[in-house]
Amino acid sequence: MVSGVSLFSPDYASARARFRAAALRAGAAHDALPLAARGPHDESLTIDLAWLGTRRPRRVMLHISGVHGVEAFAGSATQLALLAAPPPLPADGALILTHVLNPYGMAWQRRANEHNVDLNRNFHLGHSTWTGTPPLYRRLDALLNPTSPPARDAFALRLGAAGLRHGVRAVRQAIAHGQHRYPRGLFYGGAELQPGPRLFIDWLRAQLPGAASLFAIDLHTGLGPHAGNTLIVEPGIGSAPLAELSRALRQPLEDSSTAPAAYAVRGSLGAALPGILPGAGVEFVLQEIGTCPALRVIHALREENRWHHYGDGHLDHSAKRCLLEALCPAAPAWRDAAVMQGTNLVYRAASWLFRDEFS
């Protein structure tokens, strides 16, 4: 098996080129959904999809990388490993790899998309609306989103003081919940469904009308202990009882509303999937490969956001490098571990989804 490290690409353009070449080598069908936004070298941006197995699947394993742009480096590497050694597929099964749902964020080394929207706060369907902001976020806005370029301003100390005053858990929940009030702020959920999610939803509906079971894995990096593997499920999602799923994945599952490491989120991709494919039984797991302490991640996100809005935003800047290191550490051991955790979860989920019920 190739080392995980060698599967990491230095930028979006090379990651996409490698993904397309690997899909071709694997005999996968390939699709690309074009976005209007451009990369830093004026390159085009696409959400790429590689499809292995039958074109009319009843059971679908769906893997998604790069909902949070810059977090896609580990997801892209994992998908290259999966194309080189895919899990066995039954006659009614397909494996679909979604390469970088937020290509703008990967290309520009941002977590948000071309409209500063956090796509995992943007998947509102049906009756949901793009409004609402936790009251505590409003109080933290000036601290989280200064209207100036990056600078030392005792952020850690001030956030610590806010934690003492309001409770660390309440502060964490208020920040990460998603907000619809500050378009230049962190964790902004947007005012409408974003182009990337819209294209992806339409594609899923058009391509998978006959799917009876869908197992989706959404790969992220950042949350949890360094190189650790945290699996988070959406409350109320999934046709399999939690214990059964946990056994199949040989891993404890955390519920985003109760897990100490996590927080409840509005407008997540996982919560939207059953509404996107109402005919399918949906299982969904958000996989987090941990990187560094949460305070360092939020600080790096904050400084990069200042650089994007109030600096000139180019890639050759410490704010960009710090964010990349906070969400995709350069350490070879971390990169190897990330690809191993990423591929293992797919193999386990696939062997459960594609189990022979009649044996």
Contact set with Zn ion (CB under 5 A) = 68, 71, 220
Say how far apart CA 289 and CA 35 lie, in whole Å: 28
Which of 23, 216 has the CB closer to Zn ion?
Answer: 216
Which of 220, 320 has the CB closer to Zn ion?
Answer: 220
Least Å distance, CB 237 to Zn ion, is: 17
DSSP secondary structure, 65-97, as one string: E-TTGGGHHHHHHHHHHHHHSPPP--TTEEEEE
Say how far apart CA 62 and CA 287 lie, in whole Å: 13
Least Å distance, CB 286 to Zn ion, is: 8
Say how far apart CA 253 and CA 247 lie, in whole Å: 9
**Residues 113 and 119: beta-carbon distance below 8 Å:** yes
Least Å distance, CB 119 to Zn ion, is: 9
Which of 71, 336 has the CB closer to Zn ion?
Answer: 71
Say how far apart CA 235 and CA 271 lie, in whole Å: 8
Least Å distance, CB 141 to Zn ion, is: 21
Residue 66 backbone zone (phi > 0: left; psi -120 to 50: alpha; other: beta) = left
CA distances from 90 to 54, 93, 102, 151, 234 (A): 9, 5, 30, 55, 27
Which of 53, 105 has the CB closer to Zn ion?
Answer: 105
Strand partners for 287? 219, 231
Q: What six digits make up the tokens of 248?
A: 């199949």
Which of 13, 72 has the CB closer to Zn ion?
Answer: 72
CA 299 to chain centre: 19
Which of 220, 266 has the CB closer to Zn ion?
Answer: 220
| Other Cβ atoms closer than 10 A to 314 | 11
Say how far apart CA 217 and CA 345 lie, in whole Å: 8
Say how far apart CA 203 and CA 197 lie, in whole Å: 10
Which of 167, 293 has the CB closer to Zn ion?
Answer: 293
Least Å distance, CB 320 to Zn ion, is: 17
Least Å distance, CB 279 to Zn ion, is: 28
Q: What six digits make up the tokens of 256?
A: 């985003």
Least Å distance, CB 71 to Zn ion, is: 5
Least Å distance, CB 108 to Zn ion, is: 16
Q: Which run of H or of E encompasses 266?
A: none
Which of 68, 335 has the CB closer to Zn ion?
Answer: 68
- Nearest residue (beta carbon) to Zn ion: 220
